[in-house]
Amino acid sequence: MSDTDKAEPMKVEIEEEKKMKEQDIKDLNSAIKKQIEFYFSDSNLYHDSYLSNLLNQSSKKLEVASDIILEFSKLKKLLSELPDSQVKLEVVKKVIASSHIVTLSEDMKAFKRKKAFNKEEYAKSTQLENRTIYIENFPETTTIEVLTNILSKVGEVLYINMPRYDVSKKVKGYAFVEYKSMKESEKAIEVLNETYPKELANPKEGNSY
């Protein structure tokens, strides 16, 4: 076998590895943007009193200090391999540049919502109750990610409220799921009535929704 023959497979392997790394970076950037947009979304701010209070304390009710947001657990985990806060913020600023929900200030000291949030107006104008379904009796090992993946098959899930026990932190086995539209929530109920997802089957109890 010639040196050329040996080199060719190695070149292909390197190219494949490069493509995989590029895809990993693309997936990570997408996850970072999605997580930050979720934090500042209307649906999350309606339920997250801590973050909504921070916004209300700012001068224009639009800003939250970046060092606070960087400490939020899911975002912190996504950014964990980056060396320091400066690099993390530079990456974040680039990733959310196209966001229609949130931006980063020029000095990168604050995340800024692009429009103010009003809790009462949100509840009234978006038919919140009609867009929300209740589901219960799923296994205590179920995560929000699992629920989101399953229930997103019938529509866009905006928020899942999954209560946990204070001490054990285990889920209580029920959740409130907010869909983007009333049509989607009705579709979810219809689908769940016909076929309950096996991933949510609880052998100890019957399932309800």
Q: What is the pLDDT of residue 8?
A: 59
Domains of the chain and any CATH numbers: 3-119 (1.10.10.10), 126-200 (3.30.70.330)
Number of other residues whose CB lies within 10 A of the CB of residue 177: 24
Rounded Cα distance between 53 and 62, Å, is 11
Query: Is pLDDT above 60 for 203?
Result: no
Question: Using H for helix, E for strand and C for coil, what is the string for the chain?
Answer: CCHHHHHHHHHHHHHHHHHHHHHHHHHHHHHHHHHHHHHCCHHHHHHCHHHHHHHHHCCCCCEEEHHHHCCCHHHHHHCCCCCCHHHHHHHHHHHCCCCCCEEECCCCCEEEECCCCCHHHHHHHCCHHHHEEEEECCCCCCCHHHHHHHHCCCCCEEEEECCECCCCCCECCEEEEEECCHHHHHHHHHHHHHCCCHHHCCCCCCCEC
pLDDT tens, residue by residue, 141-173? 888 888 888 889 889 999 999 888 888 888 888
Q: What is the pLDDT of residue 206?
A: 44
Rounded Cα distance between 200 and 209, Å, is 11
Q: What is the pLDDT of residue 209?
A: 46
Rounded Cα distance between 10 and 5, Å, is 9
Average pLDDT value for residue range 64-91:
93
| Average pLDDT value over all residues in the chain | 84
Q: Model confidence at 201, in pLDDT bands (50, 70, 90)?
A: low
pLDDT tens, residue by residue, 23-63? 788 889 999 999 999 999 999 999 999 999 999 998 788 99
Q: Is the pTM of this model over 0.75?
A: no
Q: Model confidence at 3, in pLDDT bands (50, 70, 90)?
A: low
